[in-house]
A = this chain, B = another copy of it.
Amino acid sequence: MKKRLTIYTATLTAFIIFGAFFLTPTNAQNSSQNTKSDDQKIQKQAQAIFKPLAETMPASEANPTTAEKVRLGKKLYYDPRLSLSGVISCNTCHNLATYGSDNVETSLGHNFQTGGRNAPTVLNAGTHIAQFWDGREPDLEGQAKGPVLNPLEMAMPDSELVIQRLSSIPEYREEFAVVFEGDEPVNYDNVANAIAAFERTLVTPSRFDDYLNGNNNALTPEEKEGLQLFMTKACITCHNGAGVGGSMYQKFGVVKPYKNQEDLGRYKITNKEADKYVFKVPSLRNITRTYPYFHDGQVWDIREAVYIMGESQLGMQLSDEEISNIVIFLDSLTGEIPEDALKLPVLPPSTAETSKPKI
């Protein structure tokens, strides 16, 4: 209930900001020759609509972020023993070398089976209103538990096998005992807690954040022009906040239905007619690196994706030049992946007791 309210509030806020914005006289066509005063107006508007990324993502009281937990979570994130086959880790489909995604239409899981939806990037995912394309899990902890047990993905038959493997490894047993309280610290909730804590460090600030933090020169004139267009063309109705998206649900096909009508989106969760084709609005952080696009990964070209958005969501046909401008802005959302997250952990060895990989 509280979540629903948040969504409506966020949507409402966006519409108010967006409405106010339309009343502000700006000259989108000539923005590359913007005067200093225009430049400052654009920045102010951007500051009202977006938010710079914080250094780490906020954690719940139930799972506070600590350095030891992050360290453990990173090992688990990179550990392929979390999959039945012993070769698929979280990083296989959310590869940090490719901005937390796998750059394929839908991921290849156990036995090369394909999932139903494109794997969203794990970067900045903790800023989202909920997890998965349909928001079926409220937080990163809930998300982390899904793929491990999904027969199409990591294919563990049950969480007991996950715990058997991990608790057979002394280094893991020790680390869980240091990080978590209780008699049996190696449990499935804590596996998810540790992974989520690691994922909350995956914040990727970019020059756009410097810009929002007051440095008007952090973006080039072309990027500012694209930003201005992104705002005037109403992309910000949905793509706003710290994630430039990720803060609400929206129907894909508000004006014109998307070419692929197979996936009913949130309807499958809520069973409400109004939720047909409704998905979580994706964050546009690092979007030029996390192709292919949309829930089905059917669109590879960012330009085509922007065109489809204009047509199906806003009922307008963006020109080639407008699309170019917007894409230039979007590329300024490509951020720095935290160095420590990119450093592969050396994983503790299995023991004679560790259950063997299976295919």
Contacts and interface: CB of A to CB of B under 8 A. Distances in A.
Given A87-B102, A300-B352, A350-B103, A97 B357 contact: no
A86 B111 contact: no
A343 B346 contact: no
A301 B112 CA distance: 29
Helix, strand, loop or mixed for chain A's interface?
loop
A97 B352 contact: no
Contacts of A108: 85, 87, 359
A359 B86 contact: no
A346 B344 CA distance: 13
Contact of A86 (B86, B104, B343): B104
Contacts of A99: 346
Interface in A165-194: none
A92 interface: yes
A99 B112 CA distance: 25
A321 B189 CA distance: 41
B347 A344 contact: no
Contacts of A97: 78-79, 344-347
A331 B98 CA distance: 35
A300 B344 contact: no
A358 to B, nearest CB: 10
A356 interface: yes
A280 B342 CA distance: 35
Given A80-B95, A97-B78, A112-B112, A104 B347 contact: no
Interface of A: 78-80, 85-87, 92, 95-99, 102-105, 107-108, 110-112, 114, 288-289, 291, 300-301, 337, 339, 342-347, 349-350, 352, 356-357, 359
